[in-house]
Structure 1
Amino acid sequence: MEQTATMEITEQERKTFGDFNLRKELLKALDDRGFIEPTPVQVAVLGQDNLNADLIVRAKTGSGKTLAFLLPLMSDDQLDPSRPGVVVISPTRELALQISREAAWVSRGINCPCTSLVGGMDMSSQIRDLRRGVAFAIGTPGRILDHVRRGTLCMDSVHTVVLDEGDHMLDMGFRDELEGILDAASGRRRTWLFSATMPPAVRALSRKYLSDPRMISLVDEGAQHEDIIHTVYTTPKNRQMDGLVNVLLWENSSKGLVFCHTRAETIEVANRLTQERFSSCCLHGDMSQRERNHALSMFVSGRVSHLVATNVASRGLDIPEVEHVFQFGLPSDAETFIHRSGRTGRAGNEGRDILVLTMAEAYKLKGMLRNTNISLNWLPVPDSQAIRARQRARYEEK
């Protein structure tokens, strides 16, 4: 039976990382990075009286859940640097590598070797890491299961499995891989499931593999993300690409994510933006790992201002200072809408979520979001005369 806890933190109850039972080396790493006050999800997990229990944690994207599981697990007295004790499973290569980078800086003062087990990267180097000894194995379902079956990842010593973005992994069809990994880790003492939503498939997995889990929920169903302003621009059906360009010019975004439905659409949109003198590149699932890493690096560093992506980037990735999310066309469902828009407005910063839709798509969006409290602003796509006037006004303000 699931036990449910909700969190409301008042000013008098504000915590610092020093209030929790964390290693001093981890506290120093946090302090060096300027992290003093934990986020609500971090308070909720770190404040558990029994961290050896199974957990289900529901929190919105950008809430700091990576540190919520890394910090207590790295403070565990039973941490053994010579053999894998913790397996962290994430839906995408980018998210797994992001978690690995976070693990590297937070653990630099302790003996806690970590390795990344993801597809599209050299298998032999991963095997060498595992043979040298690691405490944390962080990766994607397919590659982790591959190592389990090869015998290169010994699951006998694994005491903890973390399922990050559990709903997304099941959406992507990884149920068999997840079950294979969990079955192989039969001696584990705890399983932590982090999932923004709890659809039937996630509930079924938790019933099968988690024992009397404590549920921590920091998600208000259908709530408006207070740091994100949502605006819908409507455009004629045969002028959607022109509409997107006009909206980009109008919004004057210096760092924006543009979401498309398909690989072909990302390439078409990126090419058009380049023609219109926007610096942009694309990110989709058919790219090699090297190409994807390069595209992300270009965007994060500011060498390009706009990243045109499929849903491969719509969950989990924590890209700093994204001012705008542009959704080109109707999202497939409300969850996709919410997780795409969650790429902006992170860590207390205000963000803008912009949709460019036909009138028919706008009508469908209203129905899609009817059971939520999300507020939308509705505007027509600005024409060239309005854009020129706005650009002149910006120039005169400088």
Structure 2
Amino acid sequence: MPFSSLPRPVAEAITERGYTAPTPVQAQVIAAEAHDRDLLVSAQTGSGKTVAYGLAIAETLLQGAESLPRAGEPLALIIAPTRELALQVQRELQWLYAKLGARVVSCVGGMNVRVEQRQLSYGCHIVVGTPGRLRDHLERGALQPGSLRAVILDEADEMLDLGFREDLEEILDMTPPERRTLLFSATMPKPIAVMAKRYQRDALRIETTSERERHADIDYRAVAVAPGDIEHAVVNLLRFHEAKGTMIFCATRENVRRLSAALTERGFAAVTLSGELSQNERNHALQALRDRRARVCVATDVAARGIDLPGLELVIHAELPIDAETLQHRSGRTGRAGRKGTCVLIVPYTRRRHAERLLRGAHVQATWDKVPTAEDIYARDEERLVDSLEVGEVSDEDLAVARKLLETRSAEEIAAAFVRSQRQSLPAPEELADAAPVPQAAREQGPRPGFEDTAWFRINAGRNDNADPRWLLPLICRHGHITKRDVGAIRIFSTETRFEIPRGIAAKFLSAVKKSGGEQEGVLIEPAGDAPPPPRNDRRGPPRDSRGPRPGGRPPYKAGPGRGAPRRGGPRG
């Protein structure tokens, strides 16, 4: 029997729950070498860690007895970073210790303090809580730590990231020194090692997966977009994947609100998770995701910590994480417990190097791809529609209606009406600007359709003027009375920018530019000839004064007093 080493009531509970064999982390924490020792465990998110430490402390709580003592001062304390994770741990331990009659109490922020104090006064065996609320109960005297036999820190790295170091240290300092200390963490940064050294005795180090294996169930992809197209990219990714559950990460609460409102307006069933929500609002949002009433959750990093949503198939980083560890925590919401998941990073092309550093730091190999186009999405819709058609059993009433329809309409018309009704219920894809610099590999494959024969133009602004496609593309379209689809490659050099227009509309474009009065705004757009632009490393250009003022009416740079004058004593060594 795989759980024969456990106390009989616990082994029966976990077998009845459907466990046929322990997961790797569960097997190692109940092994003989881990018995009655402090543990320092790192394991993949979603690998069964909660049940693992529940199994690990079973013998510690019983101490050779066949049943738990009468509920009084708690025997075990479990500290979790967020309310949702703490309540999830409470539910898991309740069924695991149900046959032992264990009383599990939660103490988390956002709940009624007096209710928690009353539950503690009645006595319990296990307390699960968040650092701030547990510290509050300890200082008030409602939580008595003198009888604790085991303390568990779940997601320790997240608690340190959230600024709970002082709370954790105060809690641990108040617990008995002979306790067992079990520290579980997805990653093991230096602060975790320092804490382990201070509060653990001869801890057994358990690591069930390597850095690369942690991401084996996640398909990482990255898409480069113009900074102004991030929202459109999110829409197209949601439509292309049509995942049962999706979590989208933003950096701030304001961005969460804005993106969620935009998605809801387009027809997506979306909810939000951010620090400003009350516990009741958070519970409603999570329940909507679990019930499939909502399929998209837009969240901040802090709000999504420790959340386990079943069936989460897609994670989208609408804004890049600040470091590799945050990338791991975000992405770990999918690909859990052996299920496959997809993680997509939306990368403004100006931050591609930063994204590549993040991926290297997280030991992740991502596939760089393009944002799905409307054509890609409609093709995928067609595949899903065909795959979802199942005739099954048909009633007589359904057949009667079908025959009447066939009397008035052809089979092709009926099928077309069905397809149209299906498409109308789906949000429309977005058109994205193709303003990012074209990679060399793509240029070698030839021009994109419609740009086989083009005319080149130049603008009197380049890298030295902070030229950026975000304002160059609208400027070109405004002065030339064209759309972004009519603009080909945009190549920015140190003193000028060159771009291509299909030759068929070049004359019309130039006429519109002359009428728009761009020179009055400090913008000079003129033909650059048919020859290809100079190499990217050619930083030479006409003198600044010959190109007129910078865009927006800014005067050209001139050397003032003390500028451009040779240093005294010659150049420095």
Q: 2:542 maps to which residue?
A: none
Q: 2: CA distance between counterparts of 1:114 and 1:145? A: 18
Counterpart of 2:505 in structure 1 is: none
Q: Are residues 269 and 230 of structure 1, via their aligned partners in 2, closer, same or farther at CA, if it must alter by over 3 Å?
A: same
The CA deviation at 1:313 is: 4.8
For 2:57, what is the secondary structure of its paired residue? helix
| Alpha-carbon distance between aligned partners in 2 of 1:333 and 1:247, rounded to the nearest angstrom | 23
Give the structure 2 partner of residue 18 of structure 1.
3
Q: Is 1:245 aligned to 2:230, yes or no?
A: no
SS in 1 for 2:381: helix
Retained in 2: the 8 A contact 1:318–1:343? yes
Q: Note the 1:1-398 alignment, pairs <5 A.
A: 17-20=2-5, 22-75=6-59, 76-78=61-63, 79-80=68-69, 81-223=71-213, 225-397=215-387, 398=389
Tell me if structure 2 keeps the 8 A contact 1:223–1:373.
no
For the residue of structure 2 that corresponds to 1:391, the secondary structure is helix
Secondary structure, aligned partner of 2:157: helix
Which residue type is aligned with residue 67 of structure 1?
V
8 Å CA contact retained: 2:359, 2:365? no
Displacement of 1:173 after TM fit?
0.9
2:568 corresponds to which residue?
none
CA contact under 8 A between 1:329 and 1:361: conserved in structure 2? no
Shift of 1:64: 0.8
Is the 1:231–1:376 contact (alpha carbons within 8 Å) kept by the matching residues of 2?
yes
Distance in 1 of aligned mates of 2:96 and 2:346: 40
Return the offset for 1:379.
1.3
Alpha-carbon distance in 2 for matches of 1:227, 1:385:
28
Equivalent residue of 1:63, what SS? Answer: coil
Give the 3 Å change call, closer, same or farther, for CA 225–196 of structure 1 in structure 2.
same
Quickly say closer, same or farther: Cα 1:210–1:334, change in 2 above 3 A: same
- Cα RMSD (Å): 1.7
In 1: Cα distance, 2:32 partner to 2:326 partner: 31
| C-alpha separation in 2, matches of 1:224 and 1:64 | 14
Amino acid of the residue matched to residue 11 of structure 2?
A: L
- The residue type paired with residue 343 of structure 2 is D
SS in 2 for 1:193: strand
SS at match of 1:61: coil
Provide the C-alpha distance between the structure 2 equivalents of 1:173 and 1:152, rounded to a whole number of angstroms: 24
Choose 1 or 2 for highest CA Rg. 2
Look up the match of 1:3.
none
1:241-284: per-residue Cα shift (whole Å, max 9, x none)?
01110111111212111111111111111111111111110011
Distance 2:95 2:12 in 1: 11
CA spacing shift, 1:155–1:265, aligned 2, 3 Å: same
Residues 318, 240 of structure 1: alpha-carbon distance in 2 compared, 3 angstrom cutoff: same
Compare relative contact order (CA 8 Å, sep 6+) and give the higher one, 1 or 2: 1
Identical residues among aligned pairs (%):
39
1:198-240 per-residue CA deviation (whole Å, 9 max, x = no partner) reads 2221122112111121111124135462111111122211111
Corresponding residue number in structure 2 for 1:6: none
Structure 2 unaligned spans of 5+: 390-573
User: How far apart are 1:388 and its partner, in Å?
Assistant: 2.5
CA separation of 1:305 and 1:371: change in aligned 2, threshold 3 A: closer
- SS of 1:18's equivalent in the other structure is coil
CA distance in 2, matches of 1:224, 1:46: 22
Which shifted more, 175-184 or 357-366? 357-366
Question: Secondary structure at the residue paired with 2:248?
Answer: strand
Number of aligned pairs? 382
CA distance in structure 2 between the aligned counterparts of 1:224 and 1:31, rounded to whole angstroms: 27
TM-fit CA distance, 1:119 = 0.8
CA distance in 2, matches of 1:266, 1:133: 41
Q: Distance in 2 between matches of 1:352 and 1:117?
A: 34
1:266 and 1:309 in contact (8 A); partners too: yes
CA contact (8 A) 2:73 2:146 kept: no
Compared CA separation, residues 350 and 65, structure 1 to 2 (3 A): same
Equivalent AA in structure 2 for residue 18 of structure 1: F
Amino acid at match of 1:70: G
Distance in 1 between residues matched to 2:271 and 2:92, nearest whole Å: 25
Provide the TM-score with structure 1 as the length reference. 0.91
Normalized against structure 2, the TM-score is what?
0.64
- Structure 2 letter corresponding to 1:113: R
1:334-377 per-residue CA deviation (whole Å, 9 max, x = no partner) reads 11111211111111111111222211233211122225542211
CA distance in 2, matches of 1:113, 1:44: 26
Instruction: State the AA in 1 paired with 2:52.
Output: A
Cα pair 2:313 2:342 within 8 Å, conserved: yes
- Matching residue's letter, 1:209: Y
Within 2, Cα distance between the matches of 1:117 and 1:157? 18
- 8 A Cα contact 1:61 1:316, kept in partner: no
Change (3 A) 1:394 1:197: closer
